[in-house]
Structure 1
């Protein structure tokens, strides 16, 4: 086993192990459960591959025939799972390992046939693996090791139930390794439930977090965020760069903008199919694309060999996401830059994120167009074109150019061709410059327009009307002061003649409102405006006079309210020749002085209590009196009155 792994490491050029790889392969930890937290890009994939190797084939130099899987590696995303499979394939290539993958987006029938043929190691995503377990496509009874890679991200994506289901199906006697960039309470609880006497290994400390990454916080104006991204890409000219966005809509918008500016760009978001995402990553690896615009979930665990620049087009929601984003660069000892685009409204949020993540960033303005051009000149002078020997096939053409053109013409042609290969930088607003002072309006003439605050006049409605009817621009209109009965308007003196000619001698605007030119600047009415809004119609603030039965409120005294001030109910007159029935008093309230109305008896002998009040309408005093009559306990006599018998 040792010879097979050593040969694989030598083939890949590994001479020393990273701290996390050395920690998990310590002899005293062989076969033990591990809970490992390490920064992204520290070589965790190779680390857990070396950690589970002794338990898979012991002292043997190769695996036996492939049957039920011996090891299971679970990753949160398809891209990370396929990346892990590639790493383990070359690591165990000399040991004869057979690897299979089960990830979402792939043909499940092909995966089922691969599992039936047998595999020593299976790399999977949680959802698809659970489907295979429930369908009986995979046998977990022979597992010797289970690895959860990026365990914190799997819990954040809602895979807790899937993970618990899979771990419950696996044998209890197994080696369980949990790898995560951070270890929150949820990860600790999962480790306590499914690991036995796990050894805690932490190689990520606040002092050395992302030591190979240069953090830069770039101040930009609110309208220059996208322009700043273009300038940052042009300033660094990284072989591979990732621009992170928070939403798919922003990914699509920024991808289109960069593509129109000449960048070789691909998008990576959850709405893409597996085939599209695979092609996008492959184009980044083989150099056909240089910029990848992605969301957080889609770019989780991506490892691009030449990724030197990460741009946060939108700030992440928490410090863990900031670390995961930035960890795409500065991997395996390589240097990288993580640039945060910070408009004024997001400055405090950026400071909090950096503080929570224990990161120090260099605050500066985004690269200007002049800085990008100066950086281009440095790259032009450092180009290998100047040191490359002249090929024999090009000597004749070079000689013709030298004899035909001057040195200045040749240099100008080279500079022009060099810059045409790159997108032009964007001009950014100068954040340090003070706002330009407002230009004085100058000589003006005042006009008075009929209709003021009482008629609902507003500057936002008067301005477009004046510009349209008076053939004015917005700059020709000065102050608009709304008074109670008129609107005072200031017009630039140089535009008054054209204004008067446009509106005509009638001096009439919309709805017949008369316009009057004032001989001198008016004195404004400084009376406070009414508290209520006056739009369209004037509001009346006078309250209705109190009823005659209510005495006027004296100064400094309070008149008690009489709640029994309802008028007496109307009593129906009896028919001629009949005697009215006595009005019984209600027994439920002896304090009331009003009597219940007389109930008229019809020929049917049923009591008629009057029409019911309309449903849904507020009851008046008359309706309240009728309700009072209904609730009375007095029962009228049946039959006709004595006078009608």
Structure 2
């Protein structure tokens, strides 16, 4: 099947051919005809399946005829992140070059001036994130009553980011008689409820997950302690024929520290995460696409929608907390028929997370053995060595050996020189009163210290009472 068999216009087919595509992907082949027939649609598909073109291409032909009005966009595409919105805008520019269509990008992190100016002139396609759209709508800067077509993209991601209430509000402001397309990687109950409420007799399409069917992506997991992840990453970057790579981490702080570490070790690396403003994120993406940097460290804000040609490797520096994020991450490689490799670092504390990933993808991920690595079970091997060391040199035995050679106490006493006792008897004194030992507390009783007679010429007076020496009768 070719794109010409899907009913697209000649102008659109020329743009598709100029972009280098000749055959539609399964989601495109199944979605484009019903969208052209103005039917509502539910598409269950992951990124990397070509779903963006599945709604962009028919929208261009649908909107090719009509008149735009100020502040009233004719169609609306909702995206969860700025990167995804920018990616969809690039698709419209690429495929709509032969059509007279105006587009506006409504996202946060940039100045509103140019966006308001574009809306005032009238737009055919408005691509927006829910937060910025709601902001302008509440200010009265935009009207949604003229919207004929609505696309809700990455609906499950919208759910994760807490945008579902905003989407419900936006849908309630749109005309009832409209066409609605909903795309999602999964269909949790909340998304199903949303579809049942705002879609009318939709066409349901589901394509297989790229993680289970895309044979162009070779997947591996690497058992490595958390403290050795950076060393393992550098080894793979040097030895696995990496041309361009995206390295994903779960936390923004990890992304920053990892990019800094790679630069210090001589790698050409950049970073993109939620703490960066939009111009800085766009600049890093452009550097990566242009080849100025070959490694992009990213948080999951960049996991969905990034379409960069020629990404040879994806590294999950952290095992993703959510299994769906794994599929979206590795989908950055192996795109457009190219081959790619995906490595996931699995620390001992990631056992549950990787088990959930393998349950989602339908099978175990092969283990990759690093060169010089102790294997997938370094802790068990170390634990096995410790008992052996104790058996060879037991500490208790070393302490007991000298004791066995010691002479008995009686023999030591005989060998030691005896202290000569004075021949003169101990001096008795009548001044010191006799103490009743039975009257003393048990714990304080002690034997009286011997009092030797002083040498000739020494003190020979009475014994002071504070010495507590009993007199002998």
TM bracket (short chain): 0.7 to 0.9
**Partner of residue 277, structure 1:** 281
Alignment of 1:307 onto 2:311: yes
2:56 pairs with one of 22, 46, 49: 49
Instruction: After superposition, give the CA deviation of every residue in 1:12-69 in whole Å (9 maximum; x if it has no partner).
Output: 1221111111111226861000000112111111110123344323xx5xx6566431
CA separation of 1:337 and 1:8: change in aligned 2, threshold 3 A = same
Separation of aligned partners in 2, 1:353 and 1:521: 65
Tell me the distance in 2 between the aligned counterparts of 1:327 and 1:359. 17
Cα distance in 1 for partners of 2:406, 2:263 equals: 57
Separation (CA, whole Å) in 2 of partners of 1:106 and 1:480:
71
2:448 corresponds in structure 1 to none
Q: Give the whole-Å Cα distance in 1 for the aligned partners of 2:31 and 2:376.
A: 50
The question of 1:108 aligning with 2:59 is answered no
How far did 1:297 drift?
2.5
Please say if residues 303 and 328 of structure 2, whose CA atoms lie closer than 8 Å, have aligned partners that are also in contact. no
Q: Per-residue deviation at 1:344? A: 3.6
Contact between 1:55 and 1:145, CA under 8 Å: does it hold in 2? Answer: no
Are 2:268 and 1:317 equivalent residues in the alignment? no
Give the distance between the partners of 1:223 and 1:480, measured in 2 at CA.
35
**Which of 6, 10, 15 is the equivalent residue of 2:13?**
6
Asked whether 1:15 is paired with 2:4, we answer no
Query: CA 1:51/1:243 → structure 2, altered by over 3 Å: closer, same or farther?
Result: same
* Structure-2 separation of matches of 1:249 and 1:307: 24
TM-score by length of 2: 0.76
RMSD: 2.8
Q: Please point out which of 173, 185, 208 is paired with 2:177.
A: 173
1:250 aligns with 2:201: no
Q: Is residue 179 of structure 2 the alignment partner of residue 228 of structure 1?
A: no
1:56-71 equivalent positions in 2, closer than 5 A: 56-57=63-64, 60=65, 64=67, 67=70, 68-71=72-75
The CA deviation at 1:272 is: 0.8
Indicate yes or no: 2:133 matched with 1:129. yes
CA contact (8 A) 2:32 2:58 kept: yes
How many residue pairs end up in the alignment? Answer: 393
Structure 1 length-normalised TM: 0.57
Counterpart CA distance in 2 for 1:280 and 1:25 is 33
- Pairwise CA distance, 1:360: 4.3
Q: How many Å separate the matches in 1 of 2:124 and 2:146?
A: 10
More relative contact order in 1 or in 2 (CA 8 Å, sep 6+)? 2
- 1:333 Cα deviation after fit: 2.0
Cα drift, residue 184 of structure 1: 1.6
Structure 1 residues 28 and 302, CA gap change in structure 2 (3 angstroms): closer
Residue pair 2:47, 2:304 contacting (<8 A) in 1 also: no
Counterpart contact for 2:12–2:61, Cα < 8 Å: no
Task: Give the corresponding residue for 1:571.
Answer: none
Q: CA deviation at 1:232?
A: 1.9
1:211 aligns with 2:215: yes
Indicate the SS of the match to 2:274: coil
After TM superposition, list the pairs within 5 Å mapping 1:471-550 onto structure 2.
Answer: 479=395, 520=405
2:292 equivalent to 1:288:
yes
The runs of 5 or more residues in structure 2 that have no matched partner are: 1-7, 408-473
Structure 1 portions without partners, runs of 5+ = 369-426, 443-477, 482-488, 494-516, 523-645
